[in-house]
Amino acid sequence: MNTPVPRNAFSLMAAVYGRIFPEVHKELEGWITQAQAIPDQELRTQALSSIETKTFHCEGGGIYALLAGENWRTAIRFIVAYQTISDYLDNLCDRSTSMDPQDFRMLHEAMTDALTPGNQLKNYYQFRSEQNDGGYLEQLVTTCQDALDSVPDYEVAGGFARKLGGLYNDLQVHKHVFEEERIPRLQNWFASHQAEWPELKWYEFSACTGSTLGIFCLVSYTLSGEMSSDLAEKIARSYFPFMQGLHIMLDYYIDQMEDEAEGDLNFCSYYDHEEEMKQRFIYFVEQARSHVQLLPNPKFHEMIREGLVGMYLADRKVAHLENAQHFAKALLRASGRKAKFFYFNTKMYHKMKPERSL
């Protein structure tokens, strides 16, 4: 019998801390062991760093496994592997020894293959000098393929997953090229989608494409045995652009100081002033709230939205941002009481949890 999807914050957090996070960490420990054995020093460094600094991406994504019923462990195996590919490739491109868009495109073929059981593996490093990862990236890809291959009706959702994945891959190519090329490329890219999303700015659209949540939702519902073409379309429309956009804009919000220090692109910096940014974040909160009502288990998706706001704003990095307290208060107020619950719960979790060291 399938485990019921949590309908309130207490049952959600009990499931997250009791089942989801321990299983996510178990999966990550396996990937850490694999990463430590990577022969090439640069690839090894970036693989380990991506897990050390972005574990919370896998933790957050893992919550979607609660939609997968009895197959929740398979969902976590997919989510952790796919998110680890994403974070690893992001590190390779951010801290790259290459500035070649062809290289970035080839690296992200791994993410397309991960969403396509039966696709042949490629030499994803063929356009860069570092080559020998000891099979690390290939193992991540095949782990995803094997998880998806275990459900016969994956292709019902597969087209939507690959569409979201394709937008993600486009973003990673455009935002990692030479600095003077980034904004023109991203603006031209948005111009080809602007008619469908006229209410978005180019940098907001870019942020919306940078989330993996819609893919995790599609895969988890598929693993539950409840997928249909109607549901797949509803998930894609509910998560893109606003739920995914809220996710990634929050991610950029907490990374502002780090990105400035590293010279990395941060979409929050393109708002004219903080008040505009705050109002646009609130707009995304409200739109995400409205759109997830179309889905089964709307209370669960509402909690995800509230959890995103609460958990990101509770991140240790926020304390170092200017005017963060005022911004956090306004966004928590707009997001609802459960957002405050998740905020204080996450604060407590961080106090109890030591800093991760590899």
pLDDT digits (tens, 9 = 90+) for 287-307: 999 999 999 999 999 999 999
What's the confidence (pLDDT) of residue 319? 85
Distance CA 222, CA 151 (A): 7
Listed as ranges, residues in the chain with pLDDT below 70 are 1-2, 96, 353-358
Task: List the structure tokens of 249.
Answer: 């804009």
- Residue 45, SS3 per DSSP: helix
3-state helix, strand, coil in the chain (%, to 5): 75, 0, 25
Distance CA 182, CA 41 (A): 28
What's the confidence (pLDDT) of residue 2? 58
- Residue 116, SS3 per DSSP: coil
126-152 per-position pLDDT tens digit = 999 999 999 999 999 999 999 999 888
What's the confidence (pLDDT) of residue 353? 65
What the chain holds in terms of domains, given with CATH numbers, is: 9-352 (1.10.600.10)
Residue 314, Cα to own-chain centre: how many angstroms? 18
DSSP state of 69: G
What's the confidence (pLDDT) of residue 357? 39
